[in-house]
A and B are shown apart, each in its own frame.
Chain A
């Protein structure tokens, strides 16, 4: 079963095409690591897949309700507790039970603590725990391991493995080795030959 299929996709950022001619397909249980130097369009690709911006060309075949997106920012509210933050997202996505997500990222002891009192790595873990409560099959993750220590990276890899085993799929942009046995795609090869600026520029808005 195909979870996500991209056909001849082109993505633009700031009116400039950064990725062109990308095709890929992820089935249930598949994951793909995106690599590439800074500015090669990893974030733009993930935002396009998540539906935050329209593709400049090509097609995305996926149920828009199937994709869980995680960006550089975790979307946490500092004045809410760890549990309240997660419960909010679980309620919004119509799932219940945050205990498994808390356990997966070793956050159970911090449930009552305000999110603003967490360290950067703990905040990141809470941000990743949000993915588990969305209950969505396709994860589009942008640099999920920033500020995580080796133990937390292992927790994350374990969460991804569990997700894939349940028939999910994941598209992960990262610079570090996660210890997952999945293919790696170098995004830089989809860079357009010459800088094109004919895409509709909305920067003036």
Chain B
């Protein structure tokens, strides 16, 4: 499993792997918002949690279709399916690699981008914690969606349509936690709910993803 994770990370940082693309996209989206809605700091501060979360979500979506598509194209997915590694573990490892190359950098960058949106400084911790707890769910749900659409032509578009509605609970509670913290209220309830969604996804979706892969590989 570690081997596969290391290989995927290696592939991501080598030429054409797409590492950093999601981060750059996140940066650009967040920078564009003040240009779009104007520099009024009160308004920006109010919408900042939502913008940061939606930005993170879209950036995450960018690289989802690559989770299984590249392995499917070059035939390694079939070979991996016949390897000693169970497909459930394969899906989990792929999601982990996706999180390490997108979710984690996004989480680390979010507080810095919060400055651009005039997000109140005391709430940075909650924003960071919310993303840290919530982005693994985004990768896991995304890996499941990628397993469903692997092998389809133009699967990327269908993948976005499938996955975005599933991202909604994480978005709602994640943005709510950051919003509450910005207003100086306690944010532990939405944070717990975000964690609940993440843990639920991590527990169930590797099995659903593996089942989808099995059908798609036939």
Residues of A within 8 A of B (CB): 50-54, 65, 67-80, 84, 88-89, 91-94, 130, 202, 205
Are B16 and A72 touching (Cβ within 8 A)? no
Are A52 and B11 touching (Cβ within 8 A)? no
- Roughly how many angstroms separate A171 CA and B79 CA in the complex, as a whole number? 16
* Closest beta carbon of chain B to A167's beta carbon, Å: 20
Q: Which of B44-88 contact A (CB under 8 A)?
A: 71, 73-85
Q: Which of B1-32 contact A (CB under 8 A)?
A: 3-4, 7, 10-11, 14-17
Known: A74-B74, A94-B84, A205-B215. A79 touches B79 (CB 8 A): no
* Nearest 7 A/B pairs, CB to CB: A73-B75, A75-B76, A91-B3, A79-B14, A53-B218, A75-B79, A75-B75
Count: A-B pairs, CB below 8 Å: 74
Looking at B10, B79, B83, B217, the one whose CB has the most chain A CB atoms below 10 A away is B79
- Residues in B with CB closer than 8 Å to A71 are 75, 78-79
* Closest beta carbon of chain A to B8's beta carbon, Å: 10
- Residues in A with CB closer than 8 Å to B215 are 202, 205
- Residues in B with CB closer than 8 Å to A51 are 82
Residues of B within 8 A of A (CB): 3-4, 7, 10-11, 14-17, 71, 73-85, 215-218
Are B218 and A77 touching (Cβ within 8 A)? no
Are B218 and A92 touching (Cβ within 8 A)? no
Subset of 18 A-B contacts with CB under 8 Å: A50-B82, A52-B81, A53-B218, A69-B79, A69-B82, A71-B78, A73-B75, A75-B76, A75-B80, A76-B76, A77-B11, A77-B74, A79-B17, A80-B10, A80-B11, A84-B7, A93-B84, A94-B84
- Roughly how many angstroms separate A119 CA and B198 CA in the complex, as a whole number? 45
Are B74 and A92 touching (Cβ within 8 A)? no
Main secondary structure of the interface of B (DSSP, over half): helix
Q: Which residue of B lies closest to A140 (CB)?
A: B82
Looking at A75, A93, A94, A130, the one whose CB has the most chain B CB atoms below 10 A away is A75
Known: A52-B218, A69-B82. A75 touches B74 (CB 8 A): yes
* Closest beta carbon of chain B to A56's beta carbon, Å: 11
- Roughly how many angstroms separate A53 CA and B73 CA in the complex, as a whole number? 18
- Residues in B with CB closer than 8 Å to A84 are 7, 10
Looking at B4, B14, B78, B81, the one whose CB has the most chain A CB atoms below 10 A away is B78
16 additional A-B residue pairs with CB within 8 Å, beyond A52-B218, A70-B79, A71-B79 = A53-B218, A68-B82, A73-B73, A73-B75, A75-B75, A75-B76, A76-B76, A77-B7, A77-B74, A80-B7, A80-B10, A89-B79, A89-B83, A91-B3, A205-B215, A205-B216
- Roughly how many angstroms separate A1 CA and B78 CA in the complex, as a whole number? 28
- Residues in A with CB closer than 8 Å to B78 are 52, 69, 71, 73, 75
Are B76 and A77 touching (Cβ within 8 A)? yes
- Residues in A with CB closer than 8 Å to B10 are 80, 84
- Residues in B with CB closer than 8 Å to A78 are 74
Partner of A67, one of B3, B77, B82, B218: B82
Q: Which residue of B lies closest to A48 (CB)?
A: B218
- Residues in B with CB closer than 8 Å to A70 are 79
Partner of B75, one of A65, A68, A74: A74
Are A202 and B218 touching (Cβ within 8 A)? yes
- Residues in A with CB closer than 8 Å to B4 are 88, 92
Q: Which residue of A lies closest to B77 (CB)?
A: A75
- Roughly how many angstroms separate A70 CA and B80 CA in the complex, as a whole number? 11
Known: A69-B78, A76-B74. A92 touches B16 (CB 8 A): no
Q: Which residue of B lies closest to A12 (CB)?
A: B218
* Closest beta carbon of chain A to B15's beta carbon, Å: 6
Q: Which residue of B lies closest to A53 (CB)?
A: B218
- Residues in A with CB closer than 8 Å to B3 are 88, 91-92
Are B15 and A79 touching (Cβ within 8 A)? yes
Are A92 and B76 touching (Cβ within 8 A)? no
- Residues in B with CB closer than 8 Å to A80 are 7, 10-11, 14
